[in-house]
Every structure is written in structure tokens, then in C-alpha cells.
Chains A and B, each alone.
Chain A
Amino acid sequence: MSRANKIVIGAVLLILVTIPHVTSDYIVYVVTLAMLFSMLTASYDLMPGFTGPLSFCPAAFYGLGAYSSALLTLNTGMSFWLALPVSTIGVFLFAIVVGYPALKLRGHYFAVTTFFFGHFVYLVFLNSREITKGPLGLGGISPPDSILGIDFGSMTAMYYLILVFGIITVAFLFTLVHSGVGRLLISIRENEDLAQASGVNTAFFKVLAFSISSGLAGMTGSLFAHFFRLLHPTTFSWMTSEMIVIMFLVGGSGTIIGPIIGAGVVTFILELMRFAPELRFIIWSVLLIVILIIEPRGLAGMYYRIRRRV
């Protein structure tokens, strides 16, 4: 990584660390959301950005992680610190089961199937009233149990916790993407048939990428559940998946930093438009179309395009 990049990352981290001390609770809340979305988008990027297939159900796995973590702590008294890894691994395994048959499909078939799957999971959340309380919302979720004397009931503590997990997630993805495995994933994106003819077990790696991506989304869901402490099925509808896709496109695919920028930009616009929720979705969709017309590779794509001209 270049010196310039390292400086920028350092600066950003510094800013993130100091935010709770210098700004209001509201800003802390928004930045926490932005961090959660960054994690979602960065892990989502592993699929369409690095491996190739476009999936349309990250929100479903986000929701599965959130609900399973919440229900584990609420119904079995499990500690958050155990519920988090359990739900993460659970979602990871479930994603393997779903991904293995789904990834045999190419192109549009796969995207449509994931779209359907995402809505199906949402319907399950909505209709399983006894378990998830459906549209009434699942509330009363407790914050993580105190460790090292830290009280996670406070927004600041959760902020830092999510920041730590965010850093871990990004570091993990960065390492993965630059490793041998990451190169093979990219080879699948670039030319799946050539990759296969060269000896890459494309089926295996596609499912692996999908499952890691989904497992991380599940982990983010668990964090969200104990941060927001109220779960409603509409948080995990295909609108949210659309939002993740927009963040992914805005920021730029195929990079790690891209989705983070995208998530940050979009979250702030989201909050600015808090006052007109119906208008929000309309603007989202228009934004998505405009981005697709101007630069399907997002801000990162624009950056590389400009850099090549210079």
C-alpha cells in the first residue's frame, strides 16, 4: 500500500476515534450507521466487485444475523459475546446451503433467484409473528454484557465497539482480497471459463465468496440488533438491499475503499432526507439510475478513469 493511502487511512481513523468526544450524540448515531453500512457494503463487494455474480439479497443475511442474535439473547439468555459468533457462523453455513445451488445459475438467473430469496426471507420475518413479532417489531434487545467494566448501554461505547469490528472486517477483507484466494476470485470475475480451464474450482470459490460475504453481513446484523435494540422486518427488505447496491455502485466496485466511501456518502444523504421518507426511496432509485448512466463503476471508477487520462 502506498504511503499516501496509509496517511489517509490514518487520518480517517483519527477522525473516527475522536468523533464521540467532539460532536453531538446525533452525529455519533449517524456515523455509527455509516460504519454499519460500510461493513455491509464492503462485505457485499466481495461478490459482484471481486468474484463477479451480482446478488440481490445482502439485506436478507443482515436480517438473519440480526434476528438470530436478538432471539438467542432474548430467549435463551445467551450472552451477546457468544451470540455474535454463533449467529455469524450460522448465517455463513446457511449461505453455503443457499449459495451452492444458486451459484450453479449464471448471470440473470442467479440475480433473479437472489432477489426472490431476499423477498422470501423478508416475508418470513414479517409473518412469523410468534417468533419475530412481525410488524410489531422485536424490541427489548439488551446491549452487550459489560466486559472490562465498559457499559455498552451508552451510545459511545457501542460506537467504539462497532468501530473496532469495522476495522477488523475491513482488515480481513483487505487481506483476503490481496491473498492468493483473492486473486483467484478476481480471475473468476475476469473470465470464469478461463479460470476453470486453468485449474480454479470456480464453483467452490464462488460459494466461498458468497458465504463469507453473507456471514459478515450476518455479523453486522448482530451488531445492529444490539445497537438499535429494536428490529422491524422492513429494515431488511429489498429496499435495504437496493441501498447497499447503490452504496456499492457509488463508491465503486472491486476496491475495498470504494464501498466505504459509498456507504459514507449515502448514509449522510440518507440522514439529510430523514424528513421525507417516501421521497427518499424515489430519490434513491433516481440516483441509482443516474449513477448507472454516468459511471457504472462508481466514484472509484471515475477516479481511475481520470487518473488514466492524466
Chain B
Amino acid sequence: MEDILIASKVTKRFGGLTAVRDVSLAVPKRARLGIIGPNGAGKTTLFNLFTGELNTTAGTIHFENQPLQGLKPHAISKKGIGRTFQIVRVFDELPVYDNILIGAIAKDLHFTPSKEQHQAVEQTLEMVKLQDHRNVMAKHLTLSAKKRVGLAVALVGKPRLLLLDECMAGLTFVEIDEMLVLLRKINAEIGITLVVVEHVMKVVMELCERIVVLASGEKIAEGTPREVANDRKVIDVYLGDNKS
């Protein structure tokens, strides 16, 4: 199985601060990869390097064997990488339907949206279970619904890789379970590769087949959930020296 995303010795420096140092990882197609680490480990910076919001100081990133360096976020998005944001983003004053429609036309602009595009929006609405909310203005939704809108906007563009930045933050246990079902479905039925940054351990352990651990900008461990959970270095970095 070939790798859909390959990061090779990626480094990002902001002046004197090195946020990401020599991080390499390879994500196989259709995989579910988790990226975890304490706060400030560089996880979101790494994401921003993948999506083009930041440029690498050193190292390369390849998506489907094409280099991503120097590409702007919208170009990378068009290549087939979708993302959600840590602080949920929606098109506030537009109804849910229009929100998702933007995701479709952004990738493929016609004079007026085509029938196929409308159909794609319908399908995505069903998938994220927001059909009944199609005319509600995005800013009036609950947090969970907003997150699903954000996900839908990314999904409707038919990405092959989806980057999810702490998408479970702020959700109730029930909502987390629902989201897990949705994510598993996206991965299994549509075949979208998932790379997930998460703090909610239950999610990471249950969803991801493979986990990468970052701390202080470096990769300190990689493996299956079980391997990582038992890794001494990982335990130290999360719990510190206090054996509490």
C-alpha cells in the first residue's frame, strides 16, 4: 500500500523558536493516523505545514508523490487535502446548505452550481446528519452541529486525505461516539485517509491504527496504540517526573 502523505525531516523555525524539528512520518492510504503530544508539542504547527498555511524551514512534504512546498492553502486544498480547525470555523451568516455548497464550488467553479454539486451537498448533509438543519444559519448551531458543518464543507470537496485538528474538543460523550461512527464510516466506506490530532485519549485509542507522538517539536514515539501507551518516553512526557 503506498503512502499518501510523506513528511521528511520537516522543520519549522520561528525566529529563535523551533516549533517542529526533523519530523518524519509516512501515512499509508486509507490509514487512520493519530498525532498526540502535550500542549505546545507542535501538532497544530505540523498541520499548518501540511495545509500550506505555514512554509517549512527545512524538509519536504509530499502528497500523492507531489511536493507541497511553497503551495498556497487553496492550491493544497484543491489537490485533495481537507481539514477542520481546532476552533471551529463555519460561514457564520449562511445557512448550512450554503456552507456545504461553498465547499463544493470552491473546488469546481461553474456559473451556477451544477446538479451534481447540489446532489453532492445533499449526500454530505445526510452523512453528517444535518438534513433537518439545512436552512439554519450556521452561527445559530450548537458546537457539535457546527463541527459537523465544518467537516461537511471539507468532505463535499471529495478530499482523499482529511486532517482533523482536535475535532472532539468540547463534545459530550454521546457526541464523541457519534463523531467516531461518522469518522469510521468516512474512512471505511469512502476510503478517505484520516490524520487526527487529538487530546481525547479514548478517541485516539479506538479510532487510530497507528499513533505518532510529538513532544517539544520532535517525534518521540510511533506505533500501534498499545505500543505507544506502554512506551516509557511517552509516559514520561505526559506525566513528568512526578510519579503521581
Determine whether A and B are in direct contact in the complex, meaning some CB atoms lie less than 8 angstroms apart: yes
Chain A positions within 8 Å of B85 at CB level: 193-194, 197
Nearest to B89 among chain A residues (CB) is A194
Contact with A along B91-110 (1 / 0, CB 8 A): 11110001001110111011
CB atoms of A197 and B51 under 8 A apart: yes
* 17 A-B residue pairings within 8 Å (CB atoms): A179-B111, A183-B102, A184-B102, A187-B91, A191-B90, A193-B85, A195-B91, A195-B106, A196-B77, A197-B74, A197-B83, A197-B154, A198-B154, A198-B157, A199-B106, A200-B102, A202-B74
Contacts of A178 in B (CB 8 A): 112
Contact indicator per residue, chain B 55-96, by CB within 8 Å of chain A (1) or not (0) = 000000000000000001111011000010100011111100
Q: Is the pair A180, B51 in contact by a Cβ cutoff of 8 Å?
A: no
Give 7 A-B pairs besides A180-B110, A194-B90 with Cβ atoms closer than 8 angstroms: A180-B105, A183-B98, A191-B91, A193-B85, A194-B150, A196-B74, A198-B102
Q: Given A179-B112, A199-B74 in contact, is the A193-B89 Cβ separation under 8 Å? A: yes
Q: Which residues of chain A have C-beta atoms less than 8 A from B90's C-beta? A: 191, 194
CB < 8 Å neighbour of A191 from B73, B89, B110: B89
Which A residues from 189 to 221 make CB contacts under 8 A with B? 190-191, 193-203
CB of A158 within 8 A of chain B? no
Contact A201/B102 with A184-B109, A187-B91, A190-B94 known, Cβ cut-off 8 Å:
no
Task: Verify A183–B92 contact, CB threshold 8 A.
Answer: no
B153 within 8 A of A: yes
Most buried by B among A179, A197, A203: A197
Question: Bound complex: CA of A200 vs CA of B91, how far in Å?
Answer: 13
User: Could you list which residues of chain A lie within 8 angstroms of chain B, going by C-beta atoms?
Assistant: 178-181, 183-184, 186-187, 190-191, 193-203
Interface majority SS on A: helix, strand, loop or mixed?
Answer: helix
Most chain B C-beta atoms within 10 Å of own C-beta, residue among A178, A184, A191: A191
> A187: which of B72, B102, B107, B113 is its contact (CB, 8 Å)?
B102
Complex formed: what's the CA distance from A184 to B113 in Å?
Answer: 11
With A191-B92, A194-B91 as contacts: A200 and B74 at CB distance below 8 Å: yes
Contacts of A184 in B (CB 8 A): 102, 105-106, 109
A residues within 8 A CB of B51?
Answer: 197
A200 nearest CB neighbor, chain B only: B106
Which residues on A sit within 8 Å (CB–CB) of B107?
198-199
A201 contact from B74, B92, B94, B101, Cβ within 8 A: B74
In the complex, how many angstroms separate the beta carbon of B200 from the nearest chain A beta carbon? Answer: 23
The reply to whether B77 and A199 contact each other, CB–CB distance below 8 Å, is yes
| Most chain A beta carbons < 10 A, residue from B73, B94, B157 | B73
User: Chain B nearest CB: distance from A164 CB in Å?
Assistant: 24
Q: How far is the CB of A168 from chain B (nearest CB, A)?
A: 18
Let me know if A181 and B102 touch, CB within 8 A: no
A194-B85, A194-B153, A195-B106 given; A183·B101 CB < 8 A: yes
Q: Which of B51, B105, B157 has the most CB of A within 10 A?
A: B105
In the assembly, what is the distance between CA of A186 and CA of B74, in Å? 16
Measured between beta carbons, the chain A residues less than 8 angstroms from B91 are 186-187, 190-191, 194-195
Taking CB atoms, residues of chain B closer than 8 Å to A197 are 51, 73-74, 77, 83, 85, 89, 154
Interface residue from A180, A187, A193, A199 paired with B112 (Cβ < 8 Å): A180
- Chain A min CB distance to B153 (Å): 6
Q: Which residues of A sit under 8 angstroms from B150, Cβ to Cβ?
A: 194
- Min CB distance A51 to B, Å, is 13
Interface pair A198/B103, CB less than 8 Å apart: yes
Q: Do the beta carbons of B92 and A187 come within 8 Å of each other?
A: no
Which residue of B is nearest A175, CB measured?
Answer: B111
Closest to A201 in B: B74
**Cβ of B89 and Cβ of A187 under 8 Å apart?**
no
| Shortest beta-carbon contacts, A-B, top 3 | A190-B91, A199-B106, A199-B77
Most chain A CB within a 10 A radius of its CB, from B72, B85, B102, B110:
B102
Instruction: Determine the distance from Cα of A218 to Cα of B1 in the docked complex, in whole angstroms.
Output: 58
Cα-based distance from A199 to B154 in the complex (angstroms): 10
Cα distance, A230 to B186, chains bound together (Å):
66
Chain A residues with CB under 8 Å of B74's CB are 196-202
CA distance A202 to B77 in the complex (A): 13
Q: Which residue of A lies closest to B73 (CB)?
A: A196
Q: How far is the CB of B29 from chain A (nearest CB, A)?
A: 21
The answer to whether B109 touches A181 (Cβ under 8 A) is yes
Contacts of A198 in B (CB 8 A): 74, 77, 102-103, 106-107, 153-154, 157
Inside 8 A of B112's CB, which chain A residues have their CB?
Answer: 178-180
Q: Give the docked Cα–Cα distance between A243 and B112 (Å).
A: 34
